[in-house]
Structure 1
Amino acid sequence: MNPAQREPVGAVAAPTAAAIRRRTVRVAGLGLAGGALGAVYLWHTNPHRPGQVLLPCPLKMTTGILCPLCGGTRMAYDLLHGDVVTAFHDNMVLLALGVPALAYVVGSWLNAGLRGRYFRPRLSARGNAVVLGIAAVWMIARNLVG
């Protein structure tokens, strides 16, 4: 074998399109199963009532300040039960901006993965500033209003 044709020591061959498809289906299936288990648990656990066994927000627990994601569990519960108005009241920014953004990213990842391609979501510096700015304004506004 010609020394120029040898792969460097420790080099890993790029995965094939079929391997990427299999991994995408496997990860999507695990995510769907985990999400379904979480949804079944949340369906029977009303976060609007005190004393439920749910993960508390660490920021609210330590400081009393609502973070931009506070209300997300209540919002998910209300969406599972078809109450969009109450879900909007629980966290309007997360419902109006976060859910569609997550749906876009997951859909793009699935589309690319099932075609045998990698998908790496990237935000520019401006995109990061916009996301962090929206989160900061939302956090300040909801803590000032109450």
Structure 2
Amino acid sequence: MADAPDSPEAVEHTLPSGVPSDATLVGMAVGGAGAVGLAVLADATGGAVGVPCLLRATTGLACPFCGATRMGAALLRGDLGEALRLNAPVLVAGLMVGYLWVSWVLERLGVARAPRPRLTPRTRRLLVPILVTLALTFTVVRNLPWEPFAALRP
């Protein structure tokens, strides 16, 4: 018996190659909206509201995400330099994920097909270990007490 046109199985088979499911795209949109909302709230309260960092609170060390809420607030004010100073890797990653999300939504809606990187199976396998290694390296470097590394602390 064939799947009904409205069944999840039928919808999943109609997705263009490389485009995440609708549920994933909605989840990404909700997460992005939450991040923007948190940045607005942090900016409106002068930084009194934010996400406390457990690593920083317990050890005094800045994690790879420390400063991300203040970075978002700086972006909302149009202060790109301050945003880069607070957490450049998260800013770049956020821009990349945002671009991918827009390209996937446009392709899913049949509006346009924006260029995006094609990952080989080997690259897909290595992506998480590479990102974890970069995050750990950034954490170590931004916590070094000497200049110019000390400038990376938020």
TM-score, normalized by the shorter chain, greater than 0.5: yes
Q: What's the CA shift for 1:39?
A: 4.6
- Residue 140 of structure 2 is matched in structure 1 by 140
Work out the CA distance in 2 between the residues paired with 1:55 and 1:68.
14
* Structure 1 unpaired stretches of 5+: 18-22, 117-121
Work out the CA distance in 2 between the residues paired with 1:131 and 1:33.
23
Q: What's the CA shift for 1:99?
A: 2.4
The TM-score with structure 1 as length reference comes to 0.64
Alignment of 1:100-115 (within 5 A): 100-115=95-110
Can you list the C-alpha shifts for 1:36-71, whole angstroms capped at 9, x where unaligned?
644542331222xxxx13220122223322111111
Q: Is the 8 A contact 2:38 2:50 kept in 1?
A: no
- Residue 65 of structure 1 is matched in structure 2 by 61
Structure showing greater relative contact order (alpha-carbon pairs closer than 8 Å, 6 or more residues apart):
1
Amino acid at match of 1:135: A
Identical columns (%): 30
- Residue 43 of structure 1 is matched in structure 2 by 43
- Residue 90 of structure 2 is matched in structure 1 by 94
Work out the CA distance in 1 between the residues paired with 2:52 and 2:103.
31
Q: Please report the RMSD computed on the Cα atoms of aligned residues, expressed in angstroms.
A: 3.5
Structure 1 114/35 Cα, relative in aligned 2: closer, same or farther at 3 Å?
farther
Amino acid at match of 2:89: V
Secondary structure of 2:49 counterpart: coil
Can you list the C-alpha shifts for 1:77-111, whole angstroms capped at 9, x where unaligned?
1111111111111112222x312222233123312
Equivalent residues, number: 124
Structure 1 72/110 Cα, relative in aligned 2: closer, same or farther at 3 Å?
same
Can you list the C-alpha shifts for 1:11-39, whole angstroms capped at 9, x where unaligned?
9642276xxxxx57x938x7376566445
Q: Specify which of 12, 15, 26 is matched with residue 11 of structure 2.
A: 15
* Structure 2 unpaired stretches of 5+: 15-21, 112-118
Structure 1 127/35 Cα, relative in aligned 2: closer, same or farther at 3 Å?
closer
Work out the CA distance in 2 between the residues paired with 1:33 and 1:129.
27
